[in-house]
Structure 1
């Protein structure tokens, strides 16, 4: 969902300017991103199936919140594992369209890699939902799991969902962009993994705490759940893009000022 690197094996170097046509290396990286996204999303969907799908029909709100918090923090640990893995270091382990778009805007991902990565992440989300359905059978499709689709609490508006999703990604992207440039010794995978975990624990029973368009798309398609789907797909990308643009603008502002003198 997240790394951090401009290219495989780096953490803070700006991506060089190239054309938009992907080369063989870019397509290979996108294939790796597809495998990572599929495996990651399958792990997430499986955690939801066992952590939330096993709750009794009469479970109290406190129990549901605790289950959601545990699942979310485990997801954060899974993110850390994927990011620090060898395949994760190779592809950058974005596993999240909002992260890919933000890193492109900030200058860490070349433009020619954006579309292949987005396609890989979308396909990975759908593939993971299909595999989860095959592996877990009717337990995955039935309530309350419903392919691990994210749903806001009853009465929560689409506007609230959109604002929460956008704000979460803006904060996380700000960390992804700022930390490698200013505090390169900080454990970035752990920081980002725990940020995703905490946001899910805090917002999971309110807005759903998706924070990733790929997290919602596959489950929504299989579950037939379209309620505020646009908010889950668009708002994270918008929040991430805005944060990356603001930080990039701030980063380049001094050089523009100096050049005008």
Structure 2
């Protein structure tokens, strides 16, 4: 496994600021997601048809995708990388695009952000958040889905997303990665929302699960996306894109990615001066 090496082994002030930005982004993002579940899914009546539920899930998923794009293109998002997802962080770590010193700050920032977002959502919308059918927006699999099938779906979903991210940043650096990632997460939610729950993000489940006490398949929702992301990043680094890293074409070195694109969201590029270079 290859890692970015710049002679720094301990988190710097810039790393801490990036982690703080990641915490803020994750908290805000998850608050929006949980609120969307509260009003988009939690208002479904018992008489609602399967078609109506599907439409609501698609609308909520589209909103989530657009929020990802917006946060990704924000100043804070461009500075931190706007992962808002431990599986993305670890996938890019395996790819060699994020140093370990930043990972150890990002993961707790994302976890705490998830928990805080659940609390904020409860404060915003009242007791209904903790009651059926919302139940803190905890993710639940659909009928007929069990641990193994959910795990495979979650792992494959993150594997595909991380693979696309790595390929775009290397092969198609001028493509709008923020939009691509937003669309991918929106699609997976729309397709898998009524099946696996459409989580694809450990931070999406952590806060709601802890506050609701719902432990069913918690390990699956937390670990499967991470395994998928790590495996995809490792494969991208060692097989398909190994020559790029061997030649030094890596984020933060003499990358072929033009300067502004290197600061694009979710590529986890770390500016050498620790300052967002976007105007």
Please indicate, yes or no, whether the TM-score normalized by the shorter chain is above 0.5.
Answer: yes
**Where does residue 63 of structure 2 map in the other structure?**
74
Partner of residue 155 from structure 2, selected from 166, 172, 179: 166
**Could you tell me which of 228, 249, 252 is aligned with 2:242?**
252
The question of whether the paired residues in 1 share the 8 Å contact of 2:237 and 2:245 is answered with no
Closer, same or farther: CA 110–254 of 1 in aligned 2, 3 Å: closer
After superposition, the C-alpha distances for 1:30-66 in whole angstroms (9 at most, x for unaligned) are 1111011000000101111110011112211111111
Structure 2 CA distance for aligned equivalents of residues 175 and 163 of structure 1: 18
> Within the alignment, does 1:64 sit opposite 2:53 as a pair?
yes
**Cα distance in 2 for residues equivalent to 1:58 and 1:142:** 18
Contact 1:51–1:67 (CA<8 Å) still a contact in 2? yes
Secondary structure of the residue aligned to 1:128 is: helix
Distance in 2, Cα, partners of 1:82 & 1:182: 24
Q: 1:254 to 1:73 in 2, by over 3 A?
A: closer
- 1:84 corresponding residue in structure 2: 73
The offset of 1:15, in angstroms, is 3.7
Instruction: Please name the residue that 1:205 is paired with.
Output: 194
1:220-239 equivalent positions in 2, closer than 5 A: 220-239=209-228
Where do 1:34-113 residues align within 5 Å?
Answer: 34-113=23-102
- Report the Cα distance in structure 2 between the residues aligned to 1:252 and 1:81, rounded to whole angstroms: 32
Q: Which runs of 5+ in 1 are unaligned?
A: 1-13, 257-261
Alignment partner for residue 13 of structure 2, among 18, 24, 35? 24
Structure 1 CA distance for aligned equivalents of residues 204 and 245 of structure 2: 38
> Given the two structures, how large is their TM-score scaled by the length of structure 1?
0.90
* Cα gap change, 1:112 to 1:144, in 2 (>3 Å): same
For the residues of structure 2 that align with 1:19 and 1:75, how far apart are their CA atoms? 36
Q: Which residue number in structure 1 is paired with residue 276 of structure 2?
A: none
Contact 1:121/1:214, CA 8 A, preserved across alignment? yes
Give the TM-score normalised by structure 2.
Answer: 0.84
How big is each residue's C-alpha offset from its partner over 1:111-133, in whole Å with a ceiling of 9 and x where there is no partner?
Answer: 10001000000000000000001
Q: Pick the structure with more helix per residue.
A: 1
- Per-residue Cα deviation, 1:176-219 (whole angstroms, up to 9, x for no partner): 11101110111110000000000000000000010000000001
